[in-house]
Amino acid sequence: MLQKIFLPILIFTAQFVVAQDCPDLLNPLNGATNVPVETSISWEAVAGVNGYIISLGTTPGGVDIVEEVQIGNDPNFTPPLGLPEATQIYVTITLFLFDQDNIVCPSQSFTTENVTIPPNCTSLINPTNGETNVNTGVNLNWVYAPKATGYRLTLGTSPGAGDILDNFDVGNVLFYNPPLDFPPDTLIYVLISPYNENGIALNCPEESFTTASLGDPPGCTSLISPEDGAFNVPLSPLIEWYPAENADGYRLYIGKTPYINDILDGATFTETSTYVLNFEPNNTYFVRIVPFNEAGEAQGCPQESFSTILGCGPYFDPDTGELITHYPESSFPDSVGICENQIPTTVTSPDIADGYRWYHLLPTGTEDLISEESSVAISEEGTYRYEIYDIVTQNGYSIECSFTKEFIVTTSSAPVIEQVFIEKFGDLFTVTLEVSGNGNYEYSIDGENFSDNNFFLNLPQGDYTLTVRDKNGCGETFKDIRLRPTPPGFPPYFSPNGDGVNDYWQYIPPKINPLPISVIYIYDRYGKYLARVGRVSKGWDGKFGNRDMPADGYWYKAVTIDGKEYTGHFTLVR
């Protein structure tokens, strides 16, 4: 979990405390053992941080393995030379924030494995195997070989010759700068043999490159704009550099870390400037420009860096230490209904923003922009995307901070109350509604308090108005009911077992105030219609489609000659 530390900052004469979370290691975990020496180190990302600086040592806060390497805002680091074996390694992560002192987090540690096998082979990365027209003054670079603690290098003008350099131990480095230039127009053979205390890598392949003709390669150049170390750089800046004498062109490398060129990886330019579109805000970018001509590339050109504007966030305000975000807030739902009788239906945003965009997501995978207003007219079901944005101005630059979400559109219709079932328990009643229609409905028995439940419990006797409405505003319906004790004459149970007693369920008119029943409808407990009982019928025999119905509870709806309805519940006993 994130560890909280506090950094005091003095502004004018008052003292403020900036709270900042330090990250925990994710790989390896703090306290882990037997960690591979070639492992990559990762940690929790910290919101609002512009970059990280990492140090590795054999003591808390130590830098004897890696000393304060800036790695941008990517919470991952691969030690370029691996790690020493059987050693407790201390990791110190420093947080970089604009206009604030760096925050040095407490060291965490893990212990590496004891290596018992020789290393693997490696390969050239500069120049690459088979490359031509290579500068005669080229410096050689190669990939780290897992578990290696050193490298032996053989160079020659024929395979295995070693006439330039013969099995030379360069130590635990990933480069070699020859004291003399290579001969021009020559195929150079390179053999790199990694080793450790357990032995040397065997059968490593020999690689080669061809040098360029005699001539003078250009020197290095440097950034004009943005300047090295600049911050608050716009997100689509003009990258411009000084011209290098005798250069025919330039190769541009840009990445979010010093090690991976994930933005531009050696893109070639003949001019000394280019626009780069859509950098991310609140990030540090690393740039290297390498001039070249027919004699080869400039050697040893430095890496420079700059940081983009704070952007939409989240980032920490340098004055207050608060976490700032400029993204608009939204309460837009996951689904929207359009009314069958109101096509197209106008959908209005519930959010306040500087701008709006509505898209229809087509089956082809493309998007159709259908509105840039706060409302949109929708005529069909499907998947849509809703976007709102605010315009934020920082240091004279305007950026768009947006919120977006997909939502589903379905069609809705007004509800229809098909049945109302009333059941009496003691002096109280339960009312259940059966509703039809294509919509997302909510229910009320007082016209004010709505819920998703289609039933109402523990109601005293009285007159009520049931309301069912579509949540998308596509209509509502009402029904008045009267809750009274069940009139006499409706048997509470019957037993259709053929014994001649209570084999049929039918209204039995009492001697006093009988109801002028016209017809009775019978339903099961789920509201399924089962039978119709006429006034002169024997009654219901407990069957549906010549099949005996199970012992259970059933509902009835009795309709009188004058149109009044009486509903209730009875039990079939077997």
Which of 86, 111, 136 is the endpoint of a domain? 111
Whether 194 contacts 202, CB under 8 Å: no
Which of 302, 178, 280 lies closest to 229, judged by CA?
Answer: 302
Q: Which of 286, 235, 288, 290 is nearest to 257 (CA)?
A: 286
**DSSP-derived secondary structure for 453-464:** -SEEEEEPSEEE
Domain-terminating residue out of 83, 111, 139 = 111
User: Three-class SS string for 13-51?
Assistant: CEEEEEEEEECCEEECCCCCCCECCCCCEEECCCCECCE
Any domain includes 324: no
pLDDT value at position 20?
57
Neighbours of 193 (CB within 10 A): 21
- Residue 321 within a domain: no
Widest Cα–Cα separation across the chain? 128
Is beta strand 76-77 parallel, antiparallel or unpaired with respect to 41-43?
A: antiparallel
Residue 281 domain flag:
yes
Residues 103 and 10 in one domain: yes
pLDDT in tens, 40-90: 999 999 887 878 999 999 999 999 999 999 888 889 999 999 999 999 999
- Between strands 296-297 and 284-293, the pairing is antiparallel
Same domain, 15 and 94: yes
* Shared-domain flag, residues 81 and 149: no
For residue 17, CA distances in Å to 4, 7, 322, 514 come to 12, 6, 10, 84
Q: In 180-331, at which residue ranges do the beta strands (DSSP E only) sit?
A: 187-196, 199-200, 207-210, 223-225, 238-241, 249-255, 264-269, 273-275, 284-293, 296-297, 304-307, 315-316, 323-324
Separation CA 249–CA 261 (nearest Å): 19
Residue 62 lies inside a defined structural domain of this protein: yes
Residues 41, 104 within the same domain: yes
Does residue 292 sit in the same domain as residue 346?
no
Residue 322 lies in a domain: no
Q: Which domain holds residue 467?
A: 416-483
Task: Decide: pTM greater than 0.85.
Answer: no
Co-location of 453 and 471 in the same domain: yes
In the block, tokens 């090295």 appear at 228
Does residue 317 fall inside a structural domain? no
In this structure, are 253 and 203 located in the same domain?
Answer: no
The number of domains in the chain is 6
Mean per-residue pLDDT pooled into runs of 10, the chain (574 residues): 36 34 94 97 88 94 93 90 96 83 93 97 95 91 96 96 96 94 95 97 96 88 94 88 95 91 93 88 91 89 90 74 85 90 90 96 94 95 96 82 94 90 86 90 93 94 93 89 86 90 93 93 90 92 93 92 89 90
8 and 105 belong to one structural domain: yes
Look at residue 86 in the predicted model and tell me its pLDDT. Answer: 96
Contact 180, 153 (CB under 8 A): no
- Give the domain CATH number at 500: 2.60.40
In a domain, 217, yes or no: no
pLDDT of residue 457: 94
Which pLDDT score, from 0 to 100, does residue 14 have? Answer: 27
Place of tokens 């790199």: 192
The verdict on residue 316 lying in a domain is no
The pLDDT of residue 98: 66
Closest CA to 472 of 442, 446, 512: 442
What is the reported pLDDT for 257? 86
Same domain for 89 and 36: yes
Give phi and psi for 480, each to the nearest 5.
-85, 135
Mean pLDDT of the chain: 90
Q: Are residues 440 and 520 in the same domain?
A: no
In this structure, the answer to whether residues 94 and 27 fall within a common structural domain is: yes
Q: What are phi and psi of 422, to 5 degrees?
A: -120, 125
What's at 42, amino acid-wise? Answer: S
pLDDT tens for residues 387-443? 999 998 877 778 889 999 999 999 988 999 988 888 888 889 999 999 999 888 999
Contact 562, 516 (CB under 8 A): yes
Instruction: Tell the burial category of 415 from Cβ atoms under 10 Å away from its Cβ (0-12, 13-18, 19+).
Output: buried
End residue of a domain, out of 147, 177, 210:
210
- Shared-domain flag, residues 9 and 106: yes
The span from the CA of 176 to the CA of 15, in Å, is 52
Residue 445 near residue 433, CB atoms below 8 Å = no
**Domain of 272: which CATH number?**
2.60.40.10
